Amino acid sequence: MPNLQPYADPNYFVYLLLALVPLAIGLYFGKRFVAYEILVSLAFIFLIFDDKTHAGQGVALIVYSIWQFLLGWGYVRYRKEHNQSSVFYTVTALSILPIFLVRLSGAGIFHAQLSLLGFLGISYLTFRSVGMIIEVRDGAIKDFHPVMFLRFMLFMPTLSSGPIDRYTRFAKDAAVAPAREEYIDLLGDATKKLFLGLFYKFIVAHYAEIAYNYFQGMAMSDAHHGMILSWWLIPVAYSYGMYLFFDFAGYSLFALSISYVMGIRSPINFNKPYASKNIKEFWNRWHMSLSFWFRDFVFMRFVFLFLKHKWIKNRNTVSTIAYFVNMLVMGFWHGLTWYYILYGFMHGAALAGNDAWIRFKRKHKKVIPHNKFTEGFAVVLTFHFVMLSFLVFCGFLDTFWFHR
């Protein structure tokens, strides 16, 4: 059996698209072959984990799915009769528990063997399942459909790196076949996205990565000379920023394209993020499915909770705290290292600072100019700040300073 990592090389697309042909023909004629869709999904998931180095992860995925299945099923049943906050928090905590343990052990803080619970895609599956539990709490999900639940949890195109979908949205698409007109438009969009993704990931990101590796090497030779800082860190930051965007955006385009072919409109993930005028706009354009998830399920909940209980009265103070909480949680989610946490902190501070600046600007409308040039300046400033934060995020500084 070959081992196929998702979207890793051009052959993968050939195999996957061929496997999807019957499904696409079905959808074109208004039929959704659910059993076949599940079969293809499972087969391609199996092919990710079917060799010695990945087999453990496959087992972890199965255990994880059973765990989340039981939590989802149990909580929906409970929620029909009761609605206690403590139960909701407990279930949410249990749902997060696997990734929490994996992150702890990954950072070397806790039993290392717990990293066995981890697998490619655990962080994304966690969003799917936690999001679902929150939607149950809100009453948006009333019934537990075992098959739909598994189709959602194990939806293959977005398994390893998103975009992060919501259960209610997914279930609406997945229950029916789209109208023929709509499906043709979806196929058109899928084709465009696929080719743009190929260009992003296999051409632009490929060269950006070569540049990134080269600049890291140059910076490391300065490190070997005992230098605390190096001019080479600047191109390291920018080349990584380019690599990260084109690699990840390319990847997301693949996932969307394949989703569309399967008649599922997974949410988009990137919308020209480097053209953002401020950091808030950046997060509305960068890794959107993640930041919207955090906005809805962390930031907003936090603000409502504080305002409802009147723990803090000043709205601005609450949102400032919420920004930090939001971005720090995101940092922790990436992994328990100083640079992910610092990255979260930087973005929390930038979001809070941005809000403060906008309030200040509103008060002094007459003295602060606003025109094309200031907007251009804002784009440039935001871009450079983001690159600086990516220099932290990429982890190279850790190597540069502490692992010479």
Tell which one of 82, 225, 365, 366 touches another protein (CB under 8 A).
225
Q: How far is the CB of 226 from another protein (least distance, A)?
A: 8
Q: Which stretch binds another protein (CB under 8 A): 76-84, 181-189, 262-270, 281-289?
A: 181-189
How many whole angstroms separate alpha carbon 122 and alpha carbon 145? 22
Between 141 and 223, name the residue whose CB sits nearer to another protein.
223
CB 120 within 8 A of CB 48: yes
Q: How far is the CB of 186 from another protein (least distance, A)?
A: 10
Between 8 and 93, name the residue whose CB sits nearer to another protein.
8
CB 392 within 8 A of CB 343: yes
Question: DSSP class of residue 202?
Answer: I
Tell which one of 83, 84, 90, 191 touches another protein (CB under 8 A).
191
- Tokens 């990260």 belong to residue: 244
CA dihedral 325, 330, 333, 338 (to 10 degrees): -80
Binding mask 74-103 for another protein (x = CB under 8 A): ------------------------------
64: number of Cβ within 10 Å? 23
Q: Check if 334 is active-site.
A: yes
Q: Which residues contact 327 (CB under 8 A, 6 or more apart)?
A: 344, 345, 347, 348, 351
Q: Which stretch binds another protein (CB under 8 A): 63-71, 84-92, 219-227, 390-398?
A: 219-227
- Catalytic residue, from 224, 225, 334, 403: name it: 334
Helices marked H in 29-84: 34-48, 52-81
Question: Is residue 55 at the binding interface for another protein, with CB under 8 A as the rule?
Answer: no
Tell which one of 70, 184, 227, 305 touches another protein (CB under 8 A).
184
Number of residues that bind another protein (CB under 8 A): 16
Q: How far is the CB of 165 from another protein (least distance, A)?
A: 24
Question: Is residue 187 at the binding interface for another protein, with CB under 8 A as the rule?
Answer: yes
CB 42 within 8 A of CB 19: no
Between 143 and 181, name the residue whose CB sits nearer to another protein.
181
Q: Which stretch binds another protein (CB under 8 A): 165-173, 218-226, 238-246, 364-372?
A: 218-226
Helices 122-137, 85-106: axis angle to 10 degrees equals: 170
How many whole angstroms separate alpha carbon 107 and alpha carbon 332? 11
Handedness of CA 207, 212, 217, 219 (dihedral sign): positive
Between 147 and 203, name the residue whose CB sits nearer to another protein.
203
Tell which one of 84, 213, 221, 316 touches another protein (CB under 8 A).
221
- Tell me how many degrees the CA angle 108-110-111 measures, rounded to the nearest 5: 100
Question: Is residue 213 at the binding interface for another protein, with CB under 8 A as the rule?
Answer: no
Is residue 35 exposed (0-12), middle (13-18) or buried (19+ Cβ within 10 Å)?
exposed
Binding mask 23-52 for another protein (x = CB under 8 A): ----------------------------x-
CB 71 within 8 A of CB 133: yes
Q: How far is the CB of 253 from another protein (least distance, A)?
A: 15
145: number of Cβ within 10 Å? 14
Q: How far is the CB of 184 from another protein (least distance, A)?
A: 5
Q: Which stretch binds another protein (CB under 8 A): 122-130, 221-229, 287-295, 319-327?
A: 221-229
Helices marked H in 225-295: 233-261, 279-285, 288-294
Question: Is residue 188 at the binding interface for another protein, with CB under 8 A as the rule?
Answer: yes
CB 122 within 8 A of CB 7: no
| Side-chain half-sphere exposure of 56, counting CA atoms within 13 A | 8
Binding mask 5-24 for another protein (x = CB under 8 A): ------x-------------
What is the radius of gyration, based on Cα positions, of the chain? 23
How many whole angstroms separate alpha carbon 59 and alpha carbon 172? 30
Q: How far is the CB of 206 from another protein (least distance, A)?
A: 12
Between 148 and 198, name the residue whose CB sits nearer to another protein.
198
Q: How far is the CB of 11 from another protein (least distance, A)?
A: 8
Active centre residues (catalytic): 334
Residues near another protein (CB under 8 A) are 2-4, 11, 51, 180-181, 184, 187-188, 191, 195, 221, 224-225, 404
